[in-house]
A and B are shown apart, each in its own frame.
Chain A
Amino acid sequence: MTTNTSEIDEIKSTPWNGGRSPFNVEYGKMMMWFFLLSDAFTFSGLLIAYGALRFSSVSWPNPDEVFQSAPGIHGGAPLVFVGIMTFILIMSSVTMVLAVEAGHRKAKSEVSKWMIWTIIGGLAFLGCQAWEWTHLHHEGAWWGANPFLNEDGTVASTNFTNLFFTITGFHGFHVFSGVVLNIIIWINVLGGTYERRGHYDMIEKVGLYWHFVDLVWVFVFTFFYLV
């Protein structure tokens, strides 16, 4: 009889028996993961549409010719500016993890410092993107307008610019939302909200979102600028 009871107790103690999170994460963090999974499908949908249209084209504009300028450099410098943008975003991801790490130690001033750097990184990235869009717009590129020729010299369809502005725009909108969220969380850090709460879990949740934005950029960078 005693053996049976202990066996039942053992079964009831499994993580999937109810009463506690089998994933061992806090509710908000789990929901952030599921939101990011759905967002991953959204971005995949956009990038796969790009892939399908590119595969359906005989030729396509060469990214090294389209993206070859940076502030003060008028052409002849492929990948330089997007390299700076990539570096800024990776850097802001690092400052975000450092904020999370400081949050584990409940070091308020350090969390605040790294959040400021992350916000600055996000704003710098948005500034770069604004410059790039303006530059391309001055060259005559916009939704429905494509001044760039295909690699084989034929006139290109507007698929290239439509997809470029839609996908980088959707990503930029995510960066913008991330900066807004980071600012809100930073204000809460300063106000002592998380100190009173006893933990800095919100930094982790907003951090997940921020790293996801970096993750999407890794794919956008490869498929628009390298391939």
Chain B
Amino acid sequence: MSADQQHIAHHDEHGSMTKKKIWGVFWVLLGITAIEFFIALVLIPRGVFGQNFANVIYIGLTLLKAFYIVAYFMHLKFEKLGLIYAIIVPLVFIIFFIIWMLYEGNFWMHIRL
């Protein structure tokens, strides 16, 4: 590998993820998971939340955890905007697929009933 390529590989890397920041992200992930457990083991059994309302919160918290893993652990937040878009934009197809297939699944249930 040439010195030029090395420069490319290490550009913008230094100082973006210090040990302190790494442990900071760890506590965020652990905290979010703890909230999910609190909802599942305390709030739902006590009837504070219904399951459907909890599911919405679970999905929100899951996406938040996914953001922290991808942005900080996988370092995507510190990459060039072009690379960020190249990875994130294709995921809209997944959103489309989720809506399409859950709607379809619901339809299957109605023809079964």
Contact = CB atoms under 8 A, between A and B. Distances in A.
Given A51-B101, A101-B22, A226-B58, A215 B40 contact: no
A25 B8 CA distance: 6
B83 A218 contact: no
Contact of A97 (B59, B73, B102, B112): B73
A21 B62 contact: no
A22 B80 contact: yes
Interface string A19-34: 0111111100110011
A87 interface: yes
A56 interface: yes
Interface string A195-220: 00111010010011001101100110
Given A56-B105, A87-B30, A23 B80 contact: yes
Contacts of B40: 64, 78-79, 226
A222 interface: yes
Given A21-B8, A22-B82, A55-B105, 13 more contacts: A33-B86, A34-B86, A44-B98, A48-B97, A51-B101, A52-B108, A55-B108, A56-B112, A58-B113, A79-B40, A198-B1, A219-B66, A226-B58
Interface of B: 1, 5-6, 8-14, 17-19, 22-23, 25-26, 29-30, 33, 36-37, 40-41, 54-55, 58-59, 61-62, 65-66, 69-70, 72-75, 79-80, 82-83, 86-87, 90-91, 93-94, 97-98, 101-102, 104-106, 108-109, 112-113
21 contacts: A23-B80, A23-B82, A24-B79, A24-B80, A26-B8, A41-B93, A41-B94, A48-B94, A49-B101, A51-B102, A53-B105, A64-B40, A83-B37, A90-B26, A198-B6, A204-B75, A211-B74, A214-B69, A215-B70, A218-B65, A222-B61
The 9 closest A-B pairs by CB, nearest first: A55-B105, A52-B105, A56-B108, A23-B83, A52-B101, A26-B9, A56-B105, A222-B62, A211-B73
